């Protein structure tokens, strides 16, 4: 399956999701940045050293962009020590922890952001991704539902929700989630691939091939290689039509 992840940092933060079986794909490779929506100067009014906190936050975001995750965490901690109510700092700190596969700590960081800004869909979305990495699928679905309630057209959240449902063998619900993502964005090749994975797990050769073929058309060269080793297709792998498609 393919999981999409989203984060927050200096410019934009999103979390991408890839793979049926490959849920543990490198977070560092599937991470975008979150727009810092808050006016940091205003947030720091009354702080002992507002400029210093803002400097630490900028430094942390730059370090996160450079994938220097441990150093970025240290810089976020310094900013947070001066001004603990910057939701973006907690989210991006969680993203750095996620990149280091320190998922429980990341979730705690996302929770701090949510306590400050419960309307931050990206915090709920990233929380769901971290929970998926921990295989806490029911909790992940609940987090994705929160993100979707805040931003119903977030196709990535619908895909990752579908993956969590599929992991629980709730195939019909998972497929509906993928279809919703496709309804939002018709060229969402990740959704078609994950649909193919779901049908592969159910042993439905025809629909597995149909959806894998669509994913390949939308992203040539990507899914043929991925499908060759994806265990979700083990039940259909010996079919000649499947072999023709991936070779």
Quick one: average pLDDT of 150-173?
97
Residue located via tokens 């629909």: 207
Residue 13 vs residue 165, higher pLDDT: 165
**Has residue 217 been placed in a domain?**
no
CA–CA separation, 98 and 43 (whole Å) = 26
Identify the pLDDT of residue 53: 83
**Has residue 222 been placed in a domain?**
no
Average pLDDT, the chain: 86
Identify the pLDDT of residue 1: 73
**Has residue 241 been placed in a domain?**
no
How far, CA to CA in Å, does 192 sit from each of 66, 88, 176, 202, 219? 32, 32, 12, 15, 11
Digit-coded pLDDT (tens) for 115-134 = 999 999 999 999 999 999 99
Identify the pLDDT of residue 2: 63
**Has residue 29 been placed in a domain?**
yes
Quick one: average pLDDT of 61-77?
96
**Has residue 108 been placed in a domain?**
yes
Three-class secondary structure of residue 171 per DSSP:
helix
pLDDT band at 108 (very low <50, low <70, confident <90, very high): very high
Identify the pLDDT of residue 32: 38
Q: How many domains does the chain have?
A: 1
- The range of the structural domain enclosing residue 73 comes to 2-152
**Has residue 227 been placed in a domain?**
no
**Has residue 101 been placed in a domain?**
yes
Residue located via tokens 């979150």: 34
Please provide the size of the chain in residues.
247
Quick one: average pLDDT of 97-101?
96
Quick one: average pLDDT of 32-57?
56
Flag whether pLDDT at 145 surpasses 60: yes
Identify the pLDDT of residue 245: 96
Flag whether pLDDT at 6 surpasses 70: no
Flag whether pLDDT at 8 surpasses 50: no
**Has residue 25 been placed in a domain?**
yes
Q: What is the CATH number of the domain that holds 43?
A: 1.25.40.10
């Amino acid at each position: 399956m393919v999981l999409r992840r989203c984060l927050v940092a200096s410019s934009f933060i999103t979390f991408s999701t890839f793979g049926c079986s490959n849920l543990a794909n490198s977070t560092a490779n599937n991470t975008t940045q979150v727009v810092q929506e808050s006016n940091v100067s205003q947030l720091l009014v009354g702080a002992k050293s507002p400029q210093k906190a803002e400097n630490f936050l900028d430094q942390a975001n730059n370090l996160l962009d450079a994938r220097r995750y441990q150093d970025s965490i240290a810089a976020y901690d310094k900013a947070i020590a001066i001004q603990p109510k910057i939701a973006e700092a907690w989210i991006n700190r969680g993203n750095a922890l996620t990149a280091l596969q320190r998922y429980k700590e990341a979730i705690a960081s996302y929770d701090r952001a949510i306590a400050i800004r419960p309307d931050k869909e990206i915090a709920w979305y990233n929380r769901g991704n971290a929970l998926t990495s921990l295989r806490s699928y029911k909790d992940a679905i609940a987090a994705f539902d929160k993100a979707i309630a805040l931003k119903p057209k977030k196709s990535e959240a619908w895909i990752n929700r579908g993956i969590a449902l599929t992991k629980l063998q709730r195939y019909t619900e998972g497929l509906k989630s993928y279809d919703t993502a496709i309804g939002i964005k018709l060229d969402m090749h990740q959704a078609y691939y994950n649909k193919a994975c779901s049908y592969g797990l159910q042993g439905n050769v025809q629909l597995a091939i149909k959806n894998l073929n669509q994913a390949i058309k939308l992203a040539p060269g990507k899914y043929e290689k991925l499908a060759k080793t994806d265990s979700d297709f083990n039940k259909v792998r010996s079919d000649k039509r499947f072999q023709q498609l991936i070779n």
